[in-house]
A and B are shown apart, each in its own frame.
Chain A
């Protein structure tokens, strides 16, 4: 029993140290997650404005076997009433030959903003979705996708 009691603080300290190390290790990873990749056409569209990483969620698989059709879902969380509402959502690709993948515009004061589609991805990359509100505020979400088979080459 006595030896057991003596061991406890050691184990506790070890666990604390491990926890602290994990925290330190995960920090830079999280910082990298929320940084916008460098996409010239996106930077041109942003024109110096900085989006915040909140409210919008871009859902893509982390690994896509086939870059020809990757299911994509964008959700902007409300509530929005009495405004501002979502005005547009833009989708940018880091490595596609056409970086401006899509732009969706909403002309109604919608309480539910979701977009589902299927995208083509030319190789492993980060994809960015940016929502612009009617008051000009910007919200962004970044998702990295590992693509096994790129979606631009001939499929044969």
Chain B
């Protein structure tokens, strides 16, 4: 199972906002929970999320423990021409994730 599910419309119109939906599989550990033996579980949340279109950043988010586990984001973006949309994120443990989807401009 991939780390993230990303959905964009199969075809988008040039310069017209289209919906981007992202859900990343991540516990977004708050740092306030303890494990079975009472040891505190260190904080580990996705800090930064970046969405690029053909290399240019179009949207970015700084997240915190205030965002629910398996963070979900829905936002809009525009494209001038067909290309590749890339998604990158990094958590407190330094673990990076990425995903890419093709954007087709009708």
Q: How large is the interface on B (under 10, 10 to 19, 20 to 34, 35 or more residues)?
A: 20 to 34
From A109, which residue of chain B is reached at the shortest CB distance? B78
Q: Do B66 and A110 have beta carbons less than 8 Å apart? A: no
| Inter-chain contact total with CB atoms closer than 8 Å | 95
Q: Do B68 and A98 have beta carbons less than 8 Å apart? A: no
Question: For B17, what are the chain A residues with a Cβ–Cβ distance below 8 Å?
Answer: 110-112
In this assembly, does A115 line the interface, its C-beta being within 8 Å of a C-beta of chain B?
yes
B59-75: CB near A (< 8 Å → 1, else 0) gives 11111111111011111
Q: Do A106 and B59 have beta carbons less than 8 Å apart? A: yes
Compute how far the CA of A49 lies from the CA of B64 in the bound complex, rounded to whole angstroms: 24
In this assembly, does B58 line the interface, its C-beta being within 8 Å of a C-beta of chain A?
yes
Q: Do A102 and B59 have beta carbons less than 8 Å apart? A: no
* B35-50 at interface with A (beta carbon < 8 Å): none
In this assembly, does B101 line the interface, its C-beta being within 8 Å of a C-beta of chain A?
no
Q: Do A108 and B69 have beta carbons less than 8 Å apart? A: no
Assess A117 versus B65: contact at CB under 8 Å? Given A110-B17, A110-B77, A110-B78.
no
Listed stretches A21-29, A89-97, A137-145; interface member: A89-97
Question: For A70, what are the chain B residues with a Cβ–Cβ distance below 8 Å?
Answer: 68
Q: How large is the interface on A (under 10, 10 to 19, 20 to 34, 35 or more residues)?
A: 20 to 34
From B28, which residue of chain A is reached at the shortest CB distance? A120
Interface set of B (CB-CB < 8 Å, partner A) = 17, 28, 30, 32-34, 56-69, 71-78
30 A-B pairs with CB atoms under 8 Å apart are A69-B69, A91-B66, A96-B66, A97-B30, A101-B67, A102-B66, A104-B75, A105-B59, A105-B61, A107-B59, A108-B58, A109-B78, A110-B17, A110-B76, A110-B77, A110-B78, A113-B76, A114-B74, A115-B74, A116-B74, A117-B67, A117-B72, A118-B68, A119-B68, A120-B65, A120-B67, A120-B68, A121-B66, A151-B68, A153-B33
Interface set of A (CB-CB < 8 Å, partner B) = 68-70, 91, 93, 96-98, 100-121, 151-154
